[in-house]
Amino acid sequence: MHSHRQHPRAATIFGVILVALSFATCAAADAVDDYLRDAMQHHPIPGAALAIVRGTNIVKNAGYGMANLENHTPVTTDTAFEIGSMTKQFTAAGILLLAQDRKLSVDDRISTFLKGTPTNWYWITLRHLMTHTSGLKNYTGLDGFELTRHLTQAQFISKMAAYPLDFKPGDKWAYCNTSYNLLGWVIENVSGKSYAEFLQERIFAPLHMTNTALRAPGVVLPGRASGYETNRAGQFVNRDPDVTDVFSAGALVSTVGDLAKWNAALDTNLILSSESLRQMWTPVRLNDGTRHPYGFGWFLSSYQGHANVGHSGSTDGFSASLQRFPEAGLTVILLSNSDEFDIATKLAKEIGIMELK
């Protein structure tokens, strides 16, 4: 979907633009501000938004750098960024909501809900899709799935049906965007609504997440940040407009404020039941009985000795992350318009450790 590059010499290239810290909530820069400001001088990060949540309180909410370099538009706490694969937790929640409605079970075969699936998909269940254990090939590494093509559900399934499974469903864990696109269509087929309409009705509207939507290029989204990549000379360039269509695997745009509302809802039963949350955060069990630290749209692990539940998001020109440290009731949400793979997660986890000390 996009090449992953490191930029050790970024300080000399970006330092002039990125030394300024904008819209921090505290008048005086604190240790987190200093840490992020330093990171932005050593990595290609034009702009970032940060929220730190303790319990039910947002204790830090700040914007840094630029949302748009051409217009010198600063990042604020209301700037909307693509959140990439963080979308998956919302897709998984959609499936769990339909399970709560008794319209499906997570162990149902996907052929029950999707037309035109090949015979070798027969044993694939919704659980396999949500836990990346389906064996389906990851389409984002293949040609022909660009956003400009607007493949229909039938076209997507037909195109993927031509590829053999990489392994028997449940045998292994392998990150797979294909699975989450299919889950989006399951939501549409079962609910009778579009993916966007379903999420709006069942999650975004109830939580007053007014700045969260699909990243449709033609739609004007207030406060949307521009995505940036770097060329061989290490200079920022506008991201290639011919991006992969990531739909329900990674196409949401949101703000740190909206994501803080979602994060708060995960500590209640406002959207998902206790049983749904338990399932979502239970590591997948493979066919041989071993566990893999991934639930339904969430990585489940530890970081420097602290329990850590989170997910990164990476689309062309954007890096995003939501990292929960449940034992301490701490969450770090970091959104950026950087093309450095997983940089938001690396920084968010480190900020989490700083806050835990």
pLDDT of residue 244: 79
pTM, two decimals, is 0.91
Q: Is pLDDT above 50 for 11?
A: no
Beta-bridge mates of residue 95: none
Percent of the chain with pLDDT over 70: 92
Q: Is pLDDT above 80 for 12?
A: no
Averaged pLDDT of the chain: 91
Q: Is pLDDT above 60 for 25?
A: no
- Who wins on pLDDT, 69 or 20? 69
pLDDT confidence bin for 29, thresholds 50/70/90: low
Region 268-293 average pLDDT: 98
| Exposed e or buried b per residue across 261-283, where buried means at least 16 C-beta atoms within 10 angstroms of its C-beta | bbbbbbeeeebbeeebbebbbeb
Pairwise CA distance, residues 191 & 185, whole Å: 10
pLDDT confidence bin for 241, thresholds 50/70/90: confident
Which range has the worst mean pLDDT, 88-102, 171-185, 207-221? Answer: 207-221
pLDDT of residue 150: 80
Kind and range of the H or E run holding 261: helix 256-265
